[in-house]
Amino acid sequence: MKRILTAAALAAALLSSAPRAAAACPYTVGPLGRYIAPAIVQGMTATNENQIEVWCSDALDGDDWFFIVDNETELRINDRVNLLIDAHETPDDFTDDTVEDCFFCHDCDKTED
């Protein structure tokens, strides 16, 4: 058992120090330079400026997204959301993409068509 744990720890250390290539964006950027990313709210942290930093994990590839909302938000941890992402005119490189808006619904069952 000790060998397996040691090998796993060594593999984790090697992977964390290896240089990483920029991954391709798993989404198709639309004609307005934006795309929708489904995500789950993982955490929320209050800031000193009456704002809340929201941490979401991408539902498709697990990437993390961070953005700021005002302190009167109705977002909650574990909410499923759709993030509107701005690709900043670099559709093949998502490292500079930013969250532009966050869409969610807490009472969608009550909404009429």
pLDDT tier at 24, thresholds 50, 70, 90 = low
Per-residue model confidence (pLDDT) at position 101: 94
Q: What is the pLDDT averaged over residues 91-109? A: 87
Q: What is the pLDDT averaged over residues 50-65? A: 91
pTM of the model: 0.71
- Rounded to an integer, what distance in angstroms lies between the CA atom of residue 57 and that of residue 43? 9
Please report the DSSP string for 2-49 in residue order: HHHHHHHHHHHHHHHHS--PPPPPSS---TTSEEEEEEEEEEEEE-TT
Q: Is the pLDDT of residue 48 over 80?
A: yes
Q: Is the pLDDT of residue 21 over 90?
A: no
CB half-sphere exposure, 16, CA atoms < 13 A: 6
